[in-house]
Structures are given as structure tokens and as C-alpha cells.
């Protein structure tokens, strides 16, 4: 089936559901996973660095949260007996789909798995359509896992990961 499964996470309940499905697919196929978290570095950061190091790095909290998300995903995969590695991808104002395709190409992923909140209409326009953009532009098959309810905030997702994982997987 699939030997190399790329799973995208962002700490939301929807991405937890995607991770759960990626784990299930990896267990069924005997495949391995790469879990990717994307941090969009703000466009003004390089300009600020050109004039000296800023006293405060505005993206530091995003990187710290991403590291926590990736470590939790790694631990879940280890508990499930799935071979996994993690990667935090950083970019400046680029599309997530471009970074996903870079990972697909360099890691030779055969499928991409990601969760979605299923926003449509104005919600999709205002909050972005990363999942839609990825599935339209990724160069391998994509498995979209729809999360039915409104996900908790990122901080609450961290606090309730076990509940979400049990509801989504087991």
C-alpha cells in the first residue's frame, strides 16, 4: 500500500484526527510516517534582522508550540509502533502546498494525510484554505480527514489531546 506517509499537523483537533488516520494507515500498510508542522515566519522578520537582531523574536512562540506538537505526534506514533520522524518547516509568506511538495519530493512521500475543519464559503475565504490548496497542488494522493465539530483553540487542543485522539482513533 503506502510505505511513506506524510502527515501535516497544526495542533488543531482536525489535525489530530488527520494524525490518527495517518497512524491507522501506517499500521495497516506497515509504512512509516513523517509528521510535518509548518511555521510561517512573518514577512517583516528578515527586514528587522537586516537592521540588527530584534530584542524579541515574534515567531519564537510559534516555533515552541510546533516543537510540542511534533513531540506529541512522535510519542503517539511510538506508542502505536509506527516508525516516524518529524520536521518543522519554516517559510516566509509562501503557500503551505509548496512546502508540502518539497517534502513529498525530498522524502519520497507516497501520500499526504491532513485534517480539515471543512470550512466553506466565507469561513474558508476569511480563515484560509490550506487544506484545499494542498489537495489541489500536491503531487501525490492526498487523504483529507474531516473533523465534524468546531475544534478547540490550539491551547485547548494541547490540553485535550488524549480525549480527541480517543474519539478519533479508538
Q: Convert the pLDDT of each residue in 2-41 to its tens digit.
A: 999 999 999 988 899 999 999 999 999 999 999 999 998 7
- Would you place residue 50 in the very low, low, confident or very high pLDDT band (cuts 50, 70, 90)? low
> Among 125, 169, 122, 121, which residue's Cα sits nearest to residue 147?
169
Residue the block writes with cell 483537533: 13
* Chain centroid to CA 29: 21
Give the total number of structural domains in the chain.
Answer: 1
Q: What is the pLDDT of residue 136?
A: 87
Q: Which residue range forms the structural domain that includes residue 76?
A: 4-31+59-148+156-168
Distance (Å, whole) CA 90 – CA 40 = 6
- In a domain, residue 40? The reply is no
Measured CA angle at 93 (ends 89, 95), to 5 deg: 70
- Asked whether residue 11 is domain-assigned, the answer is yes
Taking the C-alpha atoms of residue 14 and residue 50, their distance in angstroms, rounded to an integer, is 37
Q: Is residue 129 part of a domain?
A: yes
pTM, to two decimals: 0.76
Asked whether residue 50 is assigned to any structural domain, the reply reads no
In a domain, 125, yes or no: yes
Does the residue 53 lie in any domain? Answer: no
What is the structure's pLDDT at 116?
A: 83
Distance of CA 50 to the CA centre of its chain: 30
Q: How many CA atoms does the CB half-sphere of 42 hold within 13 Å?
A: 11
Among residues 166, 160, 169, the alpha carbon closest in space to that of 12 is found at 160
Instruction: Provide, rounded to the nearest whole percent, the portion of the chain with pLDDT above 90.
Output: 49
Q: Do the Cβ atoms of 119 and 149 come closer than 8 Å?
A: no
Amino acid at each position: 500500500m503506502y510505505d511513506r506517509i506524510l502527515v501535516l499537523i497544526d495542533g488543531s483537533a482536525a489535525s489530530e484526527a488527520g494524525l490518527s488516520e495517518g497512524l491507522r494507515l501506517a499500521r495497516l500498510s506497515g509504512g512509516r510516517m513523517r509528521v510535518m508542522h509548518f511555521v510561517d515566519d512573518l514577512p517583516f522578520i528578515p527586514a528587522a534582522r537586516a537592521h540588527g537582531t530584534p530584542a524579541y523574536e515574534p515567531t519564537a512562540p510559534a516555533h515552541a508550540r510546533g516543537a510540542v506538537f511534533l513531540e506529541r505526534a512522535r510519542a503517539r506514533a511510538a506508542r502505536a509502533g509506527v516508525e516516524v520522524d518529524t520536521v518543522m518547516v519554516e517559510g516566509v509568506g509562501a503557500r503551505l502546498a509548496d512546502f508540502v511538495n518539497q517534502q513529498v519530493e525530498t522524502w519520497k512521500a507516497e501520500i499526504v494525510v491532513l485534517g480539515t475543519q471543512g470550512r466553506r464559503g466565507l469561513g474558508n475565504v476569511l480563515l484560509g484554505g490550506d487544506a484545499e490548496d494542498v489537495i489541489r497542488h500536491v503531487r501525490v494522493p492526498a487523504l483529507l480527514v474531516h473533523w465534524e465539530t468546531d475544534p478547540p483553540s490550539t491551547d485547548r487542543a494541547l490540553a485535550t489531546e488524549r480525549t480527541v485522539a480517543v474519539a478519533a482513533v479508538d
